[in-house]
Amino acid sequence: MAVDTGRAVEVGADRTIAGLDALDLAATASGESRLAKVWASAWPKLLALAFVLGVWQVVYWSGWREPWVLPAPQEVFADLARAVTTADFWRAIATTLRRGLVGFVLAAAIGLVLGVAVARVRPLRAALGSAITALQTMPSIAWFPLAILLFQISENAILFVVVLGAAPSIANGVISGVDYVPPLLLRAGRNFGARGLSLYRYVVAPASLPAIVSGLKQGWAFAWRSLLAGELLVIIAQRPALGVRLQGLREQNDAAGVISTMIVIFVIGVLADAVFSSADRRLRRAWGLDQA
Amino acid sequence: MTSVLPAGGVAEQPTDRTAVRLSGVSKVYGRGPAAVHALDNVSLDVAPGEFVCLVGASGCGKSTLLSLVADLDRPTAGTIEVAGGARPGLMFQEPALFPWLTVAGNVGLPMRLRKVSRAERAERVAELLRTVHLDEFGRRRPHQLSGGMRQRVAMARTLALDTPVLLMDEPFGALDAMTRDILHDEIERIWQQRGLTVLFVTHNVREAARLGDRIVLLSSRPGRVVADWRVDVPRPRRIDSPEIAAIAAQVTDRLREEVRRHGS
């Protein structure tokens, strides 16, 4: 009899817990469809695009500049349609993207190592911490004269400046990621027996991931800017690149070509940003950071 | 029946059967005139299987004491012994779950760090989640759970350390009363089933009377053991029973006395 009562009490407790859990979780369901979400984020962008094109068209109609200096939108898009059929156009994109990716990967490797070293080693932080931030404020284009003296007109001159532009942001992302790991998580990790390297692997590294991703995103933006600046200055013969193309078309007074190349550069930038943003968003959603 | 024995001061009968023993433990933060004496000459014996609640006003070094027992910090003076050299499991007021891991991943982490095989880990995680009534939530992320559920995950994760000694630092302080009551039943059941030794820090005197075999009162700045009560109310107990209320009143009176000492 007493045993039975005991079991009844326990079953009752189970039900209470299950009921409480169900009540707690009821409010977190979301019913919005995927399509609705895509549309919700797409329409403001489409509207902005239409607005820009509209203003451009109106300025063109106003005759503020000669048509050969400021062509109409449809002329530029016709030029773009012609360009995509040429091999040179794709070779230019390929060269620029390759330079960007190589520079970015190298900068990421250097930035990660530098960031971890500065975050861990106290004297290094004192010596390099503020230098890294100072380096970030240096406009990358100011490095080119020195880069050209050091490496002549070569791929390495461009690579040098791209890495110099991107690595500090990436290192700073790592440093702030490591610095802002919640102390409570470190204590929990240490209580589970994580020490030294295993603490880094299981707690510090994953906990700093959001800051590292935003450092990488910023690093890419710096790499891309440095790269395009570099391609305008460091022109290697027989090697089409987007910056070279821009410079060449300006010399031929081909405004439609210049603008269509700019559109390509812009679109690549937007796509790269979308990749980083989606990584960032996925991370934040998985961690429950965007619920506030 | 209720019988509250104010032992007063330090328990002075060392036995062979102690799970945790603190002898003359002091902890000072900083140096010179700015030094803060968090703990001063604290001696405390906890028997195996005992549920000891530490109460005290803010700044009494309760959390410091747990950090020392958990070996996350070193005492300035004195010694701390944990039977068998086991690493005690520590639970905080915050669940301190890792947001990048699922519920099952969190519970499995202490075992992963001990290099327990994947298959055995999966089995143990399932068992631990059943223990805290969360068997259906292993694949969720911590942020998808309520506060009480998260604290239960934290409990399962601490149990995954396979340690006989549990240190709890106000683990239910941030929860609503209903959830807290249920978690009191839960921790009591788990403690009894597994024969754990628990050192439970709280500022909630009723909670201490509801859960503890003993209630130890610490003074503030510096933290010293000033009273030690045995709670002989049979279990299961209810936090709203008159016996618990009577004990809580007695502890509260003594606690107020301590707090007043700082006002003068």
Domains for chain A: give ranges and CATH numbers: 75-287 (1.10.3720.10)
Report the distance separating Cα A290 and Cα A280, nearest Å. Answer: 11
Q: Is some CB atom of chain A closer than 8 A to the CB atom of B86? A: no
Selecting from B96, B133, B148 the residue whose C-beta is nearest the C-beta of A24 gives B148
Q: How high is the pLDDT of residue A27? A: 59
Confidence of residue A10 (pLDDT cuts 50, 70, 90): low
Q: Does A17 touch chain B (CB under 8 A)?
A: yes
B64, B141, B146, B182: which to substitute to probe chain A, counting the most A Cβ within 10 Å? B146
Q: Which positions in chain B touch A28 (Cβ < 8 Å)? A: 144
Q: Does A124 touch chain B (CB under 8 A)?
A: no
Token representation of residue B123 = 């089995």
- Those residues with Cβ within 8 angstroms of residue B113's Cβ, 6 or more apart along the chain or in another chain: A192, A193, A194, A198, A202
B95 to chain A, minimum CA–CA distance in Å? Answer: 9
Query: Which of B142, B143, B182 faces A16 most closely, judged by CB atoms?
Result: B182
Q: Does A207 touch chain B (CB under 8 A)?
A: yes
Q: Which residue in this structure is represented by tokens 């002989």?
A: B232
Q: What is the mean pLDDT of residues B231-239?
A: 91
CA A6 to chain centre: 59
Tokens 């942001």 correspond to A169
How far is the C-alpha of A76 from the C-alpha of A82, rounded, in Å? 10
Q: Distances in Å between the alpha carbon of A67 and those of A77, A138, A257, A263, B167?
A: 15, 38, 13, 18, 78
The domains of chain B, with CATH numbers, are: 1-88+166-264 (3.40.50.300), 96-162 (no CATH)
Considering only CA atoms, give the Rg of chain A. Answer: 27
pLDDT attached to residue A167: 95
Least confident segment among A27-41, A121-135, A152-166, A218-232: A27-41
Does position B94 have pLDDT exceeding 70, yes or no?
yes
Kindly tell me if the per-residue pLDDT of B7 is higher than 50: no
d(CA A153, CA A140): 16
CA atoms of B194 and B214, how far apart (whole Å): 19
- What ipTM describes this predicted complex? 0.86
DSSP state of B33: G
Condensed to tens digits (0 to 9), the pLDDT of residues B96-148 reads: 999 999 999 999 999 999 999 999 999 999 999 999 999 899 999 999 999 89
Please judge whether A191 and B72 are an interchain contact, meaning their C-beta atoms are less than 8 angstroms apart: yes
* A9-42: burial string, b at 16+ Cβ within 10 Å, e else: eeeeeeeebeebbeeeeeeeeeeeeeeeeeeeee
| B52, B22 Cβ separation under 8 angstroms | no
- pLDDT tens, residue by residue, A113-168: 999 999 988 888 888 888 898 888 888 889 999 999 999 999 999 999 999 999 99
| C-alpha to C-alpha distance for A238 and A234, rounded to whole angstroms | 12
Percentage, residues of chain A above pLDDT 70: 92
In angstroms, the CA A282 to CA B63 distance is 36
Alpha carbons within 13 angstroms on the beta-carbon side of residue B32 total 1
Tens digits of residue pLDDT in B191-224: 999 999 999 999 899 999 999 999 999 988 788 8
Residue B112 sits at the chain A interface (C-beta within 8 Å) = yes
CA separation for the pair A213, A174 (Å, rounded)? 9
The token pair at A276 is 């980083």
What is the β-pairing status of strands B20-29 and B36-46? antiparallel
Amino acid at A62: S
Q: How far apart are the C-alpha atoms of A93 and A78, rounded to whole Å? A: 19
Q: Are B49 and B59 in contact (CB under 8 A)?
A: no
Strands B225-230 and B214-218: antiparallel
The residues, ordered by sequence, that sit 6+ positions from B238 with a Cβ below 8 Å of its Cβ are B210, B244
**Distance in angstroms (rounded) separating the CA atoms of residues A152 and A47:** 46
Q: Determine whether the interchain pair A191/B70 forms a contact, defined as Cβ–Cβ distance below 8 Å.
A: yes
* Residue of A14, A18, A287 with shortest CB distance to B100: A287
- Residues of A in Cβ contact (< 8 Å) with B110: 192-193
CB burial of residue B172 (10 Å; 0-12, 13-18, 19+): buried
Taking CB atoms and an 8 Å limit, are B133 and A286 in contact across chains?
no
Tell whether the model's pLDDT for residue A79 goes beyond 90: yes
B85 neighbourhood in chain A, CB within 8 Å: none
State yes or no: pLDDT of A109 exceeds 90.
yes
Q: Three-state DSSP class for B56?
A: coil
* Chain A residues lying within 8 Å of B90, measured CB to CB: 187-188, 191
Looking at residue A238, its pLDDT comes to 83
What Rg value do the Cα atoms of chain B yield, rounded?
19
pTM value > 0.90:
no
Whether residues A20 and B112 touch (CB distance < 8 A) is answered with no
Task: State in Å, rounded, how far the first CA of chain A is from the last one.
Answer: 50
Give the residue from A181, A191, A198, A208 with the most B CB atoms within 10 Å of its CB, the best one to mutate: A191
Contact A168, A133 (CB under 8 A): yes
